[in-house]
Amino acid sequence: MPLAAGGQARVASPVLDAMRTELARSLTTFKGQLTAPYFLSYEITEAHTLNVAGSFGAITQSGERRHRALGVDLRVGDYRFDNTHPLRGGLPGRAFMGFGEGMAEIPVDDDPDAIRAAVWYATDRKYKRAVEQLTWVKTNAAVGVAAEDTAPDFSAEPREAYTEPVARIAVDPRVWEDKIRRYTAPFARYGDIYEADAVFIAEVDSRWYVNSEGTEIQTSQPIYRLYVSAFSKADDGMELPRYESFWAFTPEGLPNDRAVLAAVQKMIDDLHALRRAPALEPYTGPAILSGRASAVFFHEVFGHRVEGHRQKLGIEGQTFRKKVNESVLPSGFSVYFDPTLRRLDGSDLAGFYRYDDEGVKARRVAVVEHGVLKTFLMARSPIEGFASSNGHGRAQLGLAPVARQSNLVVETAEPHSEAELKRMLIDEIKRENKPYGLLFDDIEGGFTITMRFIPNAFNVMPVMVYRVYPDGREELVRGVDFIGTPLTTFSKIVAADDHMAVFNGMCGAESGWVPVSAVSPGLLVSQVEVQKKLKSGERPPILPPPFGAAATP
């Protein structure tokens, strides 16, 4: 239950108690040092994971693991200038810290003495390193060119207090072993599917956080995930992947067996269709991005470019840094990020959390309103004009938090039906006198480059792409990636449909892998560019398969 100032009962927490005690002792001791920390926080994260994996009807892995680790954020100097200050070249001072410094293994037993011992030693190491870093960054600032952004290095934030009980995994591994066998068995009927896997992961992520500002947080979130993947090969060697993923906060939130097996059969049908499909040549012209494809597009092309720290670091492209209160999207489009949103349109959202990894309460952030850029996603690293965090400081344990995405939601003021959007595509094809347009129906992921020393481009990787002809016919094609640059592509967005789709996944960046969601309607874009997908030089297997049909049905 929440820990409230009004006298509400506290959830018993030996871990939080041990962290609180050691924090107070450390701060008292450091007062006697010439260079005392002005900020200190401890974060202990436990991952309790149950994993079941299988392939072609057999279990390949099944096990359970609990693991705890500690992260320490210790800062010397002051809020305006501390040991994390960016060095010449735009890298933060802590970029020179080795991976895992200030990090330690923590016993999974709730033993206060053992926890405090680990915290004590990690704090001592982090303090010595921080003092060294402060010397480096002061010297660098004295000899380097003046920084473009003179905002402070860190922001003071309000005290927060919240605790909830530690959750438990609520599934039987034997049940899921049986499910995984049944989910992967259909792939074994076909000799042209070379890998076929399913992985079920039940995980409880529990987190204890305290800092010198008085914040104390205990959260615990169960997550249940199911991944199904398979690939085939075309005769020219091109690998043809298909993926399905399901994400929920309860076991009941995952699809039932019938729905999963239907998805498996569709994957098989798609793989066989892709083997017969022609390869698409490089192309520019109009296209529709389905909701899932649009969600990944916005996550990669827009979301990473509005993360606050990217507006401050000199090595970043800073695409939108000077565009606050300017139009960056068509006037009918709005974009917000809301980590407090647990569920939308019947789907659980992976980017849900109550507090970020810097002890700041999660909140909704309206980044674009009616096409106009209003703000950025902020951690506790201020930028000029944006002095405080808005609850988006996130990190994988062992890395320093930076501003990261949560649940991205794209809205349109004038939605069209999917049929209307297709008619608009055909009109655009005819207007541009193109032989066809494209429909990006399903997607496997994407990536983007935001730094200025190489081209600021993106690559969204579709797996199900269709040519759409002027008469409305659709033809499956293969072998292309959707590429481009952000400002040009945003200027080509024409309209959106009325079907919101959810893409849940893990996003990797400089602060590691964090769960995110992107929600978007389908988009009509007047001009996209596609390039050929990387192709393997390896032919399909020479030996016949030991099971299944030797030839494609």
23-37 mean pLDDT:
95
Beta bridge mates, 69:
45, 105
In a domain, 191, yes or no: no
pLDDT of 548 reads 63
- pLDDT the model gives residue 145: 67
Residue 541 lies in a domain: no
Instruction: Tell me which residue of 15, 37, 16 sits closest to 27, measured CA to CA.
Output: 37
- Segment 488-501 shows an average pLDDT of 94
Sign of the torsion formed by the C-alpha atoms of 110, 169, 403 and 460: positive
Residue 178 domain flag: yes
Identify the band that residue 97 occupies on the pLDDT scale cut at 50, 70 and 90. Answer: very low
> Given pLDDT bands bounded at 50, 70 and 90, which one contains residue 5?
very low
Alpha carbon separation from 345 to 198, 223, 251, 394, 497 (Å, rounded): 26, 18, 18, 25, 15
CA gap 118, 69 in Å, rounded: 10
Structure tokens at 498: 């009325």
Q: Are 216 and 289 contained in the same domain?
A: no
> Given the structure tokens 């450091």, which residue do they identify?
30
Confidence band for 293, pLDDT divided at 50, 70 and 90: very high
Is 169 found in the same domain as 30?
yes
Average pLDDT on 25-48 reads 95
484: pLDDT strictly greater than 90: no
pLDDT band at 103 (very low <50, low <70, confident <90, very high): low
Mean pLDDT of the region 250-264: 97
Per-residue confidence band for 422, with pLDDT thresholds at 50, 70 and 90: very high
Element (H, E) at 526: strand 523-532
- Percent above pLDDT 90 for the chain: 74
pLDDT bin (cut points 50, 70, 90) of residue 309 is confident
d(CA 398, CA 22): 20
Counting every residue written for the chain, the total comes to 553
Residue 453 has pLDDT above 70, yes or no: no
- The residue-averaged pLDDT of 269-275 equals 96
pLDDT at 153: 94
* Residue 551 lies inside a defined structural domain of this protein: no
Q: How far apart are CA 535 and CA 406, in angstroms?
A: 33
Higher pLDDT pick, 140 / 452: 140
pLDDT at 91 over 60: no
Instruction: For helices 112-143 and 14-30, give the axis angle rounded to 10 degrees.
Output: 50
Q: Is the pLDDT of residue 351 over 90?
A: yes
In whole numbers, what is the pLDDT of the chain averaged over residues?
Answer: 90
Cα(first)–Cα(last) distance of the chain, in Å?
Answer: 57
Q: What average pLDDT does range 207-223 have in this prediction?
A: 97
In this predicted structure, the answer to whether residue 92 has a pLDDT above a threshold of 60 is: no
Q: Which of 366, 449, 465, 376 is nearest to 411 (CA)?
A: 366
The span from the CA of 510 to the CA of 47, in Å, is 21
487 and 354 part of one domain: yes
Residue 389: which H helix or E strand, with range? none
Q: Rounded to an integer, what distance in angstroms lies between the CA atom of residue 444 and that of residue 243?
A: 7
Distance CA 533, CA 174 (A): 40
Q: Per the domain annotation, does 69 fall within a domain?
A: yes
Rg (CA), the chain: 25
- Whether residue 498 is contained in a domain is answered as yes
With left for phi above 0 and alpha for psi between -120 and 50, is residue 128 left, alpha or beta?
Answer: alpha
pLDDT score of 461: 83
Please tell me the distance from the alpha carbon of residue 224 to that of residue 171, in angstroms, as a whole number.
10
Residues 114 and 209 in one domain: yes
Residue 200 domain flag: no
- Strands 365-369, 333-337: pairing kind: antiparallel
Q: What is the arithmetic mean of pLDDT over 186-204?
A: 95
Q: Which of 450, 467, 436, 430 is nearest to 509 (CA)?
A: 450
Query: Does the pLDDT of residue 2 top 70, yes or no?
Result: no
Number of domains composing the chain: 2
User: Can you give the residue range of the structural domain that contains 42?
Assistant: 14-51+58-184+205-221
Say how far apart CA 407 and CA 520 lie, in whole Å. Answer: 11
Would the pLDDT of 162 be above 50?
Answer: yes
* Among candidate residues 64, 48, 39, 241, the one with its CA nearest the CA of residue 126: 39
Q: Is the pTM of this model over 0.75?
A: yes
Nearest partner of 297 among 148, 455, 436, 481, judged by Cα = 481
pLDDT band at 503 (very low <50, low <70, confident <90, very high): very high
Together in a domain, 37 and 114: yes
Supply 236's token pair. 């020219």
pLDDT at residue 1, rounded to an integer = 39
- Does the pLDDT at position 93 exceed 70? no
Q: Would residue 346 count as lying in a domain?
A: yes
Q: With bands split at pLDDT 50, 70 and 90, how would you rate the model's confidence at 337?
A: very high
CA angle at residue 458 from 454 to 460, to 5 degrees? Answer: 150
**Range 510-535 average pLDDT:** 92
Query: Is residue 553 scored above 60 in pLDDT?
Result: no
Same structural domain, 178 and 101: yes
Percent of the chain with pLDDT over 70: 92
pLDDT at 551: 45
> Do 410 and 489 lie in a common domain?
yes
What distance lies between CA 396 and its chain's CA centroid? 11
pLDDT, position 101:
55
pLDDT band at 150 (very low <50, low <70, confident <90, very high): confident
Determine the Cα–Cα distance for residues 36 and 76; give it in Å rounded to an integer.
6
